[in-house]
Amino acid sequence: MAKKILITGGAGFIGSNLADFFLEREHCVICIDNLITGSISNIAHLTNQDFRFINLDVTNYIYIDSEIDYILHFASPASPIDYLELPIQTLKVGSLGTHKALGLAKARGATFLLASTSEIYGDPLIHPQQENYWGNVNPVGPRGVYDEAKRFAEALTMAYHRYHSIDAKIARIFNTYGPRMRINDGRAIPTFISQALKNEDITVYGEGNQTRSFCYIDDLVAGIYQLLMSGINEPVNLGNPHEMTILQLAEKIIDLTNSKSEIVFRPLPEDDPKVRQPDISKAKKLLQWEPKVSLEEGLGKTIEYFEKKLFDQN
């Protein structure tokens, strides 16, 4: 039976890929986005489907004149560049926006899924990161606006679950990449690919020894769906546990793009996490989910997307 899905931040990278996923399964999708970091180009191909776009800032209010079965709250700036340029908006969408989205879920009796983040763990003191780790976050640092907004959003979501009996899910999303990322996103993969395709110097911060793990968007969307359909209400890590250094990632992208780029090193940003790797034991056990797309395959598809975007811009 077709369901009605509301996605806040639905014109963003992950949100628009989720819209594709649900529409392919013949559900109805309502997308809310104020286009601060989202883009109409991400959803332009959906206009002839059972899809509705509402240009709205969810920190003000959310009014939908129909029944809703599921609310997926993905509205938020989500890169270090965004935190510096949009600190107040980041805090507001994590707090006020989450409150408005939860209020709508309560009013409609909808299942609610919060897009949380591995940034919950801050610069972690345990490795890999499990869901029972409370984190090591600097609340007043430049990244604190995102970290604390998401930590508050998790607390509010669980309060609505406990007090109002909302069926709420929390996905702690680790680094995800793929088509529809912004070229000027500021995160490692889009930055490195753009620089490599233009044969520019690739900027690596610090010595490049900090580690990350990268999950392809199709794998993440599958994990989000599994969590949404589950009976689980506590946070669940979703990401790819394959860990590599940022320097290794830069070298891999140079190789895959046959680039003439050279790697240059810049000072490490404040509070930049030294390690990041999800423990996905819970997702494997309770959701029967784990990533399937290899880094080489995922990067290949992402590079192809960026080649087209860069060509279109020129």
Catalytic positions, written as ranges: 146
String of b and e for 266-277 (b: at least 16 CB within 10 Å)?
eeeeebebebbb
**Distance (Å, whole) CA 311 – CA 314:** 5
DSSP string, 204-229: EETTS--EEE-EEHHHHHHHHHHHHT
CA 58 from chain centre, in angstroms, equals: 17
Q: 179 and 303 in contact (C-beta within 8 Å)?
A: no
ω into residue 124 within 30 of 0, thus cis?
Answer: no
The length of the chain in residues reads 314
Q: 277 and 129 in contact (C-beta within 8 Å)?
A: yes
**Distance (Å, whole) CA 118 – CA 141:** 17
What residues are paired with 54 via a beta bridge? 32
Coil, strand, or helix at residue 58? coil
CA dist 82 → 78, 87, 91, 93 (Å) = 6, 7, 11, 13
Q: Find, among 71, 60, 74, the residue nearest to 109 by Cα.
A: 71
Q: 156 and 99 in contact (C-beta within 8 Å)?
A: yes
DSSP string, 39-70: -GGGTGGGTTSSEEEEE--TTT----SS--SE
